[in-house]
Amino acid sequence: MSITPIITFKAGYCDVDASRRPFKVKPSERPGYIYLYSEDDLLHFCWRERSAPIDEPELDLVMVPTDGHFVPYDPKTQPSGAIKPDGRVFVLKFLSSSQRYFFYLQSKPQGRTGNPNWFSPRDLKIGEIVDKLLQGEEVDVARELASINNSDNDDRRGNDNDETMEDVESHGGASDPQVGSGGAGAGATGGDIRDEGEGAREGGADGGRAAASGNSDAAMAVRNFLDSLKGGSQGEGEGKLYPLLSDLLTPPVTVPMARQATEEQVDNLLSFLPPSVLVLSQQADEGDTTAEPTAAAIQAAKEAMSLGQKKALLEKVLRSPQFHQSLASLTMAIRDGGLPSIADALSVPVENGGYFKGSQLPLGGGEAVEAFVEGVKKSVQKK
């Protein structure tokens, strides 16, 4: 697969231990790159070791326009007692999920005082460019990088071997640079970084939103959905906090299930896929695939697939951004009062039919999602 990154810059990956509060964030000493590229009109946010091939990232996230924000971590805005990281840390957060990723810049700090926490104008511009790309904006990366002015507290005395274009690159068709060594410091960050608070976690409050430039109906639908999600999360503090379905049904949970499923279970799962997906998986290189498949073509496609091929198709679907976007959409429909009708359509037994006890007011927010999940669990246990 040929990949042409939009931007590449040196950054280290941080491991997050969320099993306790405050969160423990431990920087990896491995030299790495963050890079973004576009494929099939979808933006990928990736991290890889510098020695790894560009098409084999350790982290590859498909980003929905306006859902993600890439912002500097500022301990001064956090709860009292938060430990200040010894490095320039950025946070990748989402409006549709509570999950977050921490990274630290591995280029040499540019402050005259040698403060490892000081974000130079160049550092902030890199974060701004990434955040704009995540919003779906068209960004002239080369021009943005050329506009950087590091005169304020800048320290460039000619002793930094970590050159600007080695540290961050815009790509106008050039391949990703292969740099053998980098500025990853063993102590680039350290200590406990506290949770950023419910407001920031739920709404991405500290990542300035920018309008997406896409004009397609699909992009507009996604943007409207995410706007509704943001609105719903603002009132979350008044109700029950509960994960989204997309948080519960992640690939580490669903893929092993598909791999271990019996042929009968696999066939049952395949029956829920659009027929065109089954046919296209067998006829990707054959003639016109735009016509609606016939019943005979669907049956022939199923019979032509081995059990391994069926499981591979399921795994591909479970990892696809479309699957997770659908889960997020279903979550929002449940949160916004659709639990009774959705539970009835899916034959999921939910308590009080999805309504508040003694009323005809449907459950909403986290309580509705929890009721739906509990109903699914009871239905499976009963069977």
DSSP string, 305-361: S-HHHHHHHHHHHHHSHHHHHHHHHHHHHIIIIIHHHHHHHTT---GGGGB-TTSSP
Q: CA-to-CA distance for 131 and 3, rounded, in angstroms? A: 20
Query: Domain check: are 182 and 113 in the same one?
Result: yes
Residue 285 lies in a domain: no
Count CB atoms within 10 A of the CB of residue 346. 13
Do residue 250 and residue 350 come from a single domain? Answer: yes
Taking only the tens of pLDDT, the chain with its 383 residues reads 678 899 999 999 988 776 666 667 788 889 999 999 998 788 999 999 999 999 999 999 988 888 899 999 877 766 655 556 778 999 999 887 777 899 999 988 777 777 788 888 999 999 999 999 999 899 999 888 888 765 555 554 443 333 333 345 555 433 333 333 333 333 333 333 333 333 333 333 333 333 334 444 555 555 555 555 444 433 333 457 788 888 888 888 888 888 888 888 888 888 887 776 776 666 544 444 455 667 777 777 777 788 888 888 888 888 887 788 788 888 888 988 889 889 888 888 898 888 988 888 888 888 889 999 999 988 888 87
- The last residue of a domain, from among 203, 238, 260: 203
Q: Are residues 190 and 61 both part of a single domain?
A: yes
Does 195 map to a domain? Answer: yes
Domain count, the chain: 2
Which candidate, 67, 59, 65, places its Cα nearest to that of 43? 65
Are residues 158 and 254 both part of a single domain? no
279: in domain: no
Q: Is residue 63 part of a domain?
A: yes
CB 229 within 8 A of CB 332: yes
Based on the fold, state whether residues 163 and 95 are members of the same structural domain: yes
Domain boundary among 178, 203, 228: 203
Structure pTM? 0.47
Say if residue 345 is in the same domain as residue 234: yes
Domain around 320: 217-271+307-382
Is 297 within the bounds of a domain?
no
Among the candidates 203, 228, 260, a domain finishes at 203
Both 179 and 65 in one domain: the answer is yes
Are residues 148 and 232 located together in one domain of the fold? no
332, 232 contact by CB (below 8 A): yes
Residue 300 within a domain: no
Domain with residue 156: its CATH number is: 2.30.29.70
